[in-house]
Structure 1
């Protein structure tokens, strides 16, 4: 067999390769190049065939292979405008006479370009995650406002906790705003520009929870994704992982979580290698974990690891003086969501809201007001707009509270924002107004 026969038999197939192919005879004359070769090097096929290989690719290693008779693998070289990695092997006939050599090479420039695009995509994803976290914080401020001593104390503790990296345990009934408080802490911490990942442990089936949190390796179980999958801890690396409804963690997951807290490392499901992770944990529960520890339903050592800083959010019925402020904020939020404006809230609406116990807490209040705005047709919320079970609630038992005017509420909110923020620009952003408007209102209200 000669080189021509070799080309005739394999040329059609080699022309389909994504990699470049060059074949030379024993003197180094180019006999064949495929389409990919011209694409990668930028040199037309007709300018290559018949040429001495050294004249067209100055740093080629093909001649060394022809001289030594041995293959050369994973050899970097420059071909035209591209950097390539080549595998070059000699061609022998049946009598072991050297006939030439074939070089198969891939475009390293293209690989680097794809890696760069992948890196850019990852940076874009991180940027979007940060923007989403900041957007969620804007919504979350509704949950954290309030003039009640309890809420002022919670904000004070949270801002102090945000300055350190200790684990935090948030307890409170469903709907009190535990995730919003966790986002508030994250966005006031040194990790604010890193991911915030929230996981509701009760919403993930028990059989999948471990792999969702810690990830898994390829072949770890039937149906596992090829190449494995990152878990929530890896996705939150460098940032904050919020674990809600911790009481639903299985004993095995509790043990793995304890290891992460102790050693800052994890092992994927089906894996053997440890992976370092830098994640701040904020846990939450709507039950008393201390009680579950006594009942042997939750690990005591894990409880104390999580419970370095403890914050308990009171139920809305325990801080009813905050309801008028919540109403003001939620109406402002719904104006953008529903594209409907409410200019006035009838005092009877506030009285009936104060009389209602709100088993669903702030989340229920938000749902009630959203429905009321949808039902409203005159830009004034009155009893007819409220759900029947609220409108029929007796206001006789409601506590005697001096309801603030809109002016008083606005003044209180501006004072609170200015006291919490580093500067006026940040305060204006928190309030959703321009700096010029903030300065004008501060002057009107005599706020220094």
Structure 2
């Protein structure tokens, strides 16, 4: 008998046309639908058995999208966690089907463009926030402006139609009537609300100029067209296409959502706990944040956590590596460009990272490597809250929170003249210093356990931890490459490990050399460590007795993994 479907996350529904399953925190399939496309999501099996290349840890309890393969077919797997993160819904969509669907909408969009480029009728689409997202050439000519000079403005800052505010507030159709203010012309216009999947998505306006100059220019045919207009002519088909186009913006936002909260940042040391508290405090603020730390310390994780806990979390988090983009392309990448801006420019132009991050967050990594010429332009964006596309003639307002990161000392760069002081002070409103791993070695055991659990999925291994001797060598190393270096070391060791525990012989040779070095520990440190070990052993014995020897329950009470508990029991001779 097929299992009853558990409750789905709010706002999510599935049908039998889309392969879907509900998995628990251990990856076990608790429910699946009877999809005709992928009849291979059996209840009771681990989803990693069904989808071999699935990064399970990335999707459990998280919003994520990954490409996977089942029986040689490529799918896009999307995960939706329940509010309590006890279960996760996964949907599978055939990549070839998605491409065909996208091609269909692109073709229909080109047909739509032909319809909207009527020389008689002006059209405008304003999104739910009042930003003008589309006008056709006819409407732009009413204002003696280009389309590019209008799109991106808020309708409140542009004399488009005095009735737009009413429709955006009431979400009711404004029937045909005489409108004043459309480019200082009198026009017959109507506005209708636009919905997508039952959610309000903006308003679509249709306008016919009744200015004497336009009537004279277009002649009797135009007059007959205006006279025959009826409410039922207001384009329902365009409404539907606009809703489909709007869905792609939402798809982009899902792909650029933050996937990590402070709970995903591993570390119980005082420094890390203090940083997590600061992230929660500043997340709701609009202030710029500068994250400083050595390479490999996890600065991107903190940027994601800030966005995750902010009021902007439903909007995109767009990440930019300033050091990875050539200087000649950086301006067009950040601010976009208009059609014809330079040789090779895409037809129709391209949105920049700041516009893509509108109402969300932009993360400027390696900000210390940004050229001085771009620093001046970035400063202007931070001051004016508007960008100007390459080749464009008008500013475009943007509402973006800026988080930047660097492994360089920006104050020193300012003194050397390679970084602008005024930009430094704009970015350095709130500063987070991420400590290197060598300064928080008490977090190393937890990091080791976490990395091994992730690598088990990637490497298809079943390693449960490291031996006490191997951990001792890991603790002696200063980790100049920080967590990134630790990840590489453990991945290499797991490839050589032949058992359940990583031993000294599995570690790289530079770590094994620490075996021959005497431990630099004085008597006081030895005495202190003995007291710590004694207290640790007493706590272990007490908890194990309370849990009647149940190691799984004991690990949960102590707040450690089973591998860490096993290692501690071996250390204190309790096995």
Scaled to the shorter chain, the TM-score interval is 0.5 to 0.7
Aligned partner of residue 242 in structure 1, secondary structure = strand
Q: 1:328 to 1:442 in 2, by over 3 A?
A: closer
Q: 1:381-404 deviations in whole A, cap 9, x for unaligned?
A: 112222222223346447777687
Q: Does 1:203 align with 2:324?
A: yes
Give the conservation status (yes or no) of the 8 Å contact 2:448–2:465.
no
Give the conservation status (yes or no) of the 8 Å contact 2:449–2:465.
no
Alignment of structure 1 residues 120-131 onto 2, 5 Å: 120-130=247-257
In structure 1, list runs of 5 or more residues that go unmatched.
1-17, 20-67, 85-107, 412-438
Q: 1:172-209 deviations in whole A, cap 9, x for unaligned?
A: 11101111111111111111111111111000011001
CA distance in 1, matches of 2:474, 2:353: 39
Alignment of structure 1 residues 224-373 onto 2, 5 Å: 224-373=345-494
Q: 1:356 to 1:115 in 2, by over 3 A?
A: same
Give the conservation status (yes or no) of the 8 Å contact 1:215–1:229.
yes
Q: 1:350-407 deviations in whole A, cap 9, x for unaligned?
A: 11111112111101101211222222221211122222222233464477776879x9
Once the two structures are overlaid, the 10-residue window that deviates more, 279-288 or 385-394, is 385-394
CA distance in 1, matches of 2:285, 2:267: 25
Q: Does 1:70 align with 2:220?
A: yes
CA distance in 1, matches of 2:343, 2:443: 51
Match of residue 243, structure 2, among 94, 116, 121? 116
Give the conservation status (yes or no) of the 8 Å contact 1:76–1:83.
no
Alignment of structure 1 residues 147-158 onto 2, 5 Å: 147-158=268-279
Indicate the RMSD between aligned Cα atoms, in angstroms.
3.3
Q: 1:189-247 deviations in whole A, cap 9, x for unaligned?
A: 11111111111100001100111011111111111111111111111111111101111
CA distance in 2, matches of 1:266, 1:78: 40
CA distance in 1, matches of 2:366, 2:221: 61
Q: 1:301 to 1:342 in 2, by over 3 A?
A: same
Q: 1:263 to 1:348 in 2, by over 3 A?
A: same
Aligned partner of residue 364 in structure 2, secondary structure = strand
Match of residue 391, structure 1, among 512, 517, 526? 512
TM-score (normalised: structure 1)? 0.65
In structure 2, list runs of 5 or more residues that go unmatched.
1-113, 116-217, 544-551, 560-575
| TM superposition shift of 1:171 | 0.8
Give the conservation status (yes or no) of the 8 Å contact 1:355–1:398.
no
| TM superposition shift of 1:316 | 0.9
CA distance in 2, matches of 1:256, 1:361: 33
CA distance in 2, matches of 1:141, 1:76: 64
TM-score (normalised: structure 2)? 0.51
Aligned partner of residue 121 in structure 1, secondary structure = helix
Q: 1:388-427 deviations in whole A, cap 9, x for unaligned?
A: 222233464477776879x97xx9xxxxxxxxxxxxxxxx
- 1:60 maps to which residue? none
Q: 1:69 to 1:378 in 2, by over 3 A?
A: closer
Name the structure where helix makes up a greater proportion of residues: 1
Aligned partner of residue 494 in structure 2, secondary structure = helix
- 1:187 maps to which residue? 308
Give the conservation status (yes or no) of the 8 Å contact 1:198–1:242.
yes
| TM superposition shift of 1:321 | 1.5
| TM superposition shift of 1:77 | 6.6
Match of residue 500, structure 2, among 374, 379, 385? 379
Give the conservation status (yes or no) of the 8 Å contact 1:200–1:243.
yes
Q: 1:171 to 1:440 in 2, by over 3 A?
A: same
Aligned partner of residue 514 in structure 2, secondary structure = coil
| TM superposition shift of 1:281 | 0.5
Q: Does 1:173 align with 2:173?
A: no
- 2:49 maps to which residue? none
How many aligned residue pairs are there? Answer: 323
CA distance in 1, matches of 2:221, 2:367: 59
Aligned partner of residue 411 in structure 2, secondary structure = helix
CA distance in 2, matches of 1:76, 1:343: 79
